[in-house]
Every structure is written in structure tokens, then in C-alpha cells.
């Protein structure tokens, strides 16, 4: 357990440093957006492109893992929706609460943390979960939010718009471009590959530092609003538990069931996808909530509590899954 803690702490220490920098004003709030652009469009995109071009994203069958992950995400989203509707939320807040309960922070936290914890072999399964999160979960939740506005046709239009937006996601585009280069057998020129390697090496510290700053910004915005239904942790226990406990438990349980039935699921891949599901809620959901006119204070508090709680729950999941050291 001590060795696991020593492996996880540096990653969360970087998140804490970013949080302190933003809270103390060392990093202006208006500068966080520029950091996000660097991380998303340059550092993480370069990392994913090189992984794809090197064949690591194609390694091993991932479709069975994605099916397990997608079904688990759907169950968690529906559970989050039921909770939010019963809590008296309007349609926009309910849809966003369902999304934040099932959308892990794979980009800013999962890729750097899990590849560092499990080794580069985890990159393929972890990156593949982005397809489900961005294309399926996010698109469906946003479409549901708009379904009651102007009827079913508006929901379909919203779904199409969400899918178009998902296809413009820089991380998905970088993955697709890298995998295409690898599939064609092309070689990236050495000077360009070296440049991308340097950018990719900056991905882990930059993404984690930026995540801390984003969480701090969300916290400051949440504190500026009335607490309402989300003022106390007791009012958020259900979505927090859905994200940190139920989501990974469903992935792990379904995966083990398929393995018991003879389906050739990679055990290493299942561990990686389970830990991806155990990640805290994605910080950028708060920005989507703001754009959609939902309760940003509610979403920000769920993100804050899942991020804080994940320090302990990830440690617990690593122990349950038998993760001892990076490979």
C-alpha cells in the first residue's frame, strides 16, 4: 500500500500545485484558458499522435472492453438522471448531472496518471474510452437536455450537433491521425517526431497542473453562487459515489463476467479501463454546463468532491485490482 501511495502522490501533488497557484493568484484565472489550449491542442495531442503512429493504440482487442465500458457508462448516466430528476432539478441541470456522474477526467488526469502507473501498454484501452465519453455519453446527455425544448426533432438536431462537435475534439483527431499513419506504415520524419516527443513529455506535468487550476477556478465560481441543492457533501453523495465507486465496479464486474463466459478480454486492459472509470469527473464539464445554461455551482461541486475523494478511492481500487507497481 505504501508503494502505491508513493506512486500516486506525485501525480496528485502536481494537481495540488496547480490548485494553489490559481487560488493564490500566482496564475491569473484568465490565463487558465491558454494553459488548456496548450495541453489539449499541443501536449496531449502530440502524445496521442505518437502513441497512435507507434501502434500502441492499436495494440490488443479493445472492442470488448469498450462495450463493457459503454454499457457501464450508460447505466451510471441513467442512475444519475434518476437521482437528479427526483431531486427536483430542471432538465438542463439533470442532464448535466447525469453527464458529470459518468464522464471521467481521462484527458487531463487519466492518460498521464494511468500510463505512469500501469505503463505505456495502458495507453490504448484508456485512450479508447475517450471515444465512449465524447461521442456517446456526452452527445446523448446533451441531446436529452434539449429534447424537451422543441420536441423530438430538436433532440435529434442537438444529437447531430453534439456528434459534430465530438469529431472536432483535438484528442480524437490526434488519435485518428496517428493511427492512420501507423496503419499506412508511414514513418514520421525524425525532426518532427523529436518535436512531438518533446511536446508529449510536457503533457503529464502540464495537464495535471492545469487540472488543479481548473478545479480551483470551478471552486471559486461555485463559492460565488448560492449553495442550493449542492451546498453540502451529503447532498452530493449519490453522484460522487456513482462516479468513484459504482462506475468502476460495473466495469470490473461486467468484465469479469465476460471473462468467465469465455470472452477473450485482456486482463491488463480491463484493469486499465476500470481505473479509467474510477477517475474523478471531468473538469471541462463545468464549462459545458456554463455554455448550456445549467447550474455551474452544482457541477463544480461534484467535480471538486470527486477530485478530492479520488485520492483515496483510486488507492483503494488499485489495491482491489492488484496494481502493485508501474510496468
pLDDT over 50 (residue 293): yes
Domain presence at residue 143: no
Give the position of cell 488507492.
315
Residues of the chain with pLDDT > 70, as a percent, come to 91
What is the pTM for the complete model shown? 0.88
pLDDT at 153: 56
Q: Is the pLDDT of residue 206 over 90?
A: yes
Q: Give the pLDDT confidence of 14-53 residue by residue, as tens digits.
A: 999 999 999 999 999 999 999 999 999 999 999 999 988 9
Average pLDDT over residues 208-237: 74
Q: How confident is the model at residue 313 (pLDDT cuts 50, 70, 90)?
A: very high
- Is residue 137 assigned to a domain? no
In a domain, 147, yes or no: no
> Into how many domains does the chain fold?
1
For residue 255, pLDDT beyond 80: yes
- Look at residue 160 and tell me if it is in a domain: no
**161 domain-assigned:** no
Give the range of the structural domain holding residue 23, as residue numbers without chain letter. Answer: 2-131+169-321
Segment 233-246, tens digit of pLDDT:
567 899 999 999 99
pLDDT reading at 155 higher than 70 = no
Q: Is residue 141 part of a domain?
A: no
Tell me the β-bridge partners of 230.
none
The per-residue DSSP string of 228-273 comes to: GGGSSGGGGHHHHHIIIIIHHHHHHHHHHHHHHTT----HHHHHHH
**CATH, residue 11:** 1.20.1530.20
Amino acid at each position: 500500500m505504501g508503494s502505491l501511495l508513493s506512486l500516486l502522490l506525485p501525480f496528485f501533488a502536481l494537481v495540488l500545485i496547480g490548485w494553489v497557484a490559481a487560488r493564490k493568484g500566482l496564475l491569473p484565472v484568465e490565463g487558465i484558458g491558454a494553459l488548456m489550449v496548450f495541453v489539449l491542442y499541443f501536449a496531449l495531442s502530440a502524445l496521442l499522435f505518437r502513441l497512435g503512429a507507434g501502434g500502441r493504440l492499436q495494440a490488443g482487442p479493445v472492442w470488448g472492453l469498450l462495450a463493457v465500458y459503454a454499457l457501464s457508462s450508460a447505466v451510471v448516466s441513467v442512475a444519475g438522471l434518476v437521482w437528479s430528476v427526483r431531486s427536483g432539478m430542471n432538465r438542463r441541470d439533470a442532464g448535466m448531472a447525469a453527464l458529470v456522474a459518468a464522464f471521467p477526467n481521462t484527458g487531463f488526469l487519466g492518460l498521464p496518471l494511468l500510463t505512469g502507473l500501469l505503463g505505456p501498454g495502458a495507453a490504448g484501452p484508456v485512450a479508447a474510452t475517450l471515444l465512449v465519453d465524447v461521442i456517446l455519453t456526452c452527445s446523448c446527455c446533451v441531446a436529452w437536455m434539449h429534447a424537451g425544448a422543441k420536441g423530438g426533432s430538436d433532440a435529434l438536431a442537438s444529437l447531430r450537433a453534439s456528434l459534430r462537435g465530438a469529431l472536432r475534439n483535438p484528442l480524437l483527431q490526434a488519435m485518428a491521425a496517428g493511427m492512420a499513419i501507423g496503419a499506412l506504415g508511414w514513418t514520421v520524419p525524425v525532426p518532427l517526431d523529436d518535436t512531438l516527443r518533446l511536446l508529449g513529455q510536457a503533457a503529464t506535468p502540464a495537464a495535471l497542473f492545469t487540472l488543479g487550476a481548473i478545479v480551483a477556478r470551478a471552486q471559486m465560481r461555485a463559492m460565488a453562487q448560492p449553495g442550493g441543492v449542492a451546498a453540502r457533501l451529503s447532498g452530493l453523495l449519490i453522484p460522487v459515489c456513482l462516479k468513484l465507486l459504482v462506475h468502476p465496479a460495473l466495469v470490473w464486474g461486467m468484465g469479469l463476467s465476460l471473462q468467465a463466459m469465455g470472452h477473450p478480454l485482456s486482463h491488463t486492459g480491463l484493469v486499465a479501463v476500470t481505473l479509467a472509470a474510477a477517475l474523478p469527473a471531468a473538469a471541462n464539464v463545468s464549462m459545458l454546463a456554463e455554455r448550456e445554461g445549467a447550474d455551474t455551482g452544482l457541477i463544480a461541486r461534484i467535480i471538486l468532491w470527486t477530485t478530492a475523494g479520488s485520492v483515496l478511492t483510486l488507492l483503494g481500487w488499485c489495491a482491489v485490482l492488484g496494481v502493485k507497481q508501474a510496468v
